[in-house]
């Protein structure tokens, strides 16, 4: 055991005495010094007790602190993991709702696109059918106009004039009253007023077309007798 001034040698001499005459590491001669003789058994027992007690205390304190540190780290880790798990679950819920919204959006967009395609196809078909019908109508109208002969219908003015002359010729002939007709009817038929109507003076009557119309006087009209029946 190395003490303050020397090393205990088994023969009672110190290490310096044994090493007398030898040089040190620096090349200088080592000096001789005396050492206090101490029993190695006493030093060994006290060192073992001190080392054993100090190591046990350090072991106990370190174990306690390490246990507290591990417990705190475990609690903190559990708390952080729980918070992160809740946040992850919240984010997953938001993602799920966003996915549902996007699915609905895609379904609606698909329906709208299909509807627009159907409307465009229907409009194109209707437009094509309208153009085809219009073209057929124009072709038919042109063919009918080309085949139509207006001269086959005659002249409307000439036909109307001939029909008017025929009507006037019929009305120019006096009506023949029945034998038992009242006198006022015979006079009305034979009077010039019977040859006039809404068409004016008719040919064959006593009055000329250029003459003034003849009015029937009130004296020429007679009340029929009460015993005669008016036809």
pLDDT tens sequence across 141-178: 888 776 666 666 667 788 888 999 999 999 888 877 77
User: What is the model's pLDDT at position 149?
Assistant: 63
Task: Inform me whether the pLDDT recorded for 15 exceeds 60.
Answer: no
Locate 98 and state its tokens: 């966003």
User: What is the model's pLDDT at position 209?
Assistant: 41
Locate 138 and state its tokens: 């124009």
Task: Inform me whether the pLDDT recorded for 105 exceeds 50.
Answer: yes
Please check whether residue 176 is in contact with residue 162, taking contact to mean a CB–CB distance below 8 angstroms: no
User: What is the model's pLDDT at position 132?
Assistant: 94
User: What is the model's pLDDT at position 130?
Assistant: 95
User: What is the model's pLDDT at position 168?
Assistant: 93
Average pLDDT of the chain is 71
Q: Between these two residues, 217 and 137, which has the higher pLDDT value? A: 137
Q: Between these two residues, 75 and 185, which has the higher pLDDT value? A: 75
Q: Between these two residues, 55 and 116, which has the higher pLDDT value? A: 116
Task: Inform me whether the pLDDT recorded for 50 exceeds 70.
Answer: no
Question: 82-104 burial string, b = 16+ CB within 10 Å, else e?
Answer: eeeeeeeeeeeeeeeeeeeeeee
Task: Inform me whether the pLDDT recorded for 82 exceeds 80.
Answer: yes
Task: Inform me whether the pLDDT recorded for 183 exceeds 80.
Answer: no
User: What is the model's pLDDT at position 118?
Assistant: 95
Please check whether residue 23 is in contact with residue 29, taking contact to mean a CB–CB distance below 8 angstroms: yes
Q: Between these two residues, 87 and 140, which has the higher pLDDT value? A: 87
Round to whole Å and give the CA distance between 219 and 152: 55
Predicted confidence band of residue 200 (pLDDT cuts 50, 70, 90): low
Round to whole Å and give the CA distance between 194 and 216: 10
User: What is the model's pLDDT at position 5?
Assistant: 41
Residues forming beta bridges with residue 15, ordered by sequence position: none
- Where in the chain are the domains? 58-119
Other CB atoms within a 10 A radius of the CB of residue 201 amount to 21
Q: Between these two residues, 53 and 159, which has the higher pLDDT value? A: 159
Please state the rounded mean pLDDT for residues 71-77. 95
């Amino acid at each position: 055991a190395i003490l303050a001034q020397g090393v205990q040698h088994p023969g009672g001499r110190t290490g310096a005495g044994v090493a007398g005459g030898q040089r040190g590491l620096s090349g200088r001669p080592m000096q001789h010094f005396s050492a206090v003789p101490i029993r190695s058994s006493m030093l060994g027992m006290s060192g073992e007790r001190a080392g054993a007690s100090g190591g046990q205390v350090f072991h106990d304190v370190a174990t306690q602190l390490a246990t507290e540190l591990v417990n705190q780290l475990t609690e903190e880790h559990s708390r952080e993991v729980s918070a992160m798990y809740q946040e992850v679950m919240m984010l997953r819920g938001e993602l799920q709702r966003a996915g549902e919204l996007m699915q609905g959006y895609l379904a609606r967009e698909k329906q709208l696109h299909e509807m627009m395609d159907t409307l465009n196809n229907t409009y194109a078909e209707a437009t094509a059918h309208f153009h085809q019908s219009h073209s057929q109508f124009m072709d038919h109208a042109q063919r009918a106009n080309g085949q139509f002969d207006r001269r086959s219908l005659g002249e409307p003015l000439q036909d109307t004039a001939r029909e008017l002359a025929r009507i006037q010729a019929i009305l120019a002939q006096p009506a023949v009253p029945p034998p038992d007709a009242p006198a006022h009817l015979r006079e009305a038929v034979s009077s010039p007023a019977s040859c006039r109507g809404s068409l004016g003076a008719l040919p064959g009557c006593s009055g000329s077309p250029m003459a003034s119309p003849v009015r029937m006087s009130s004296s020429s009209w007679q009340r029929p007798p009460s015993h005669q029946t008016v036809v």
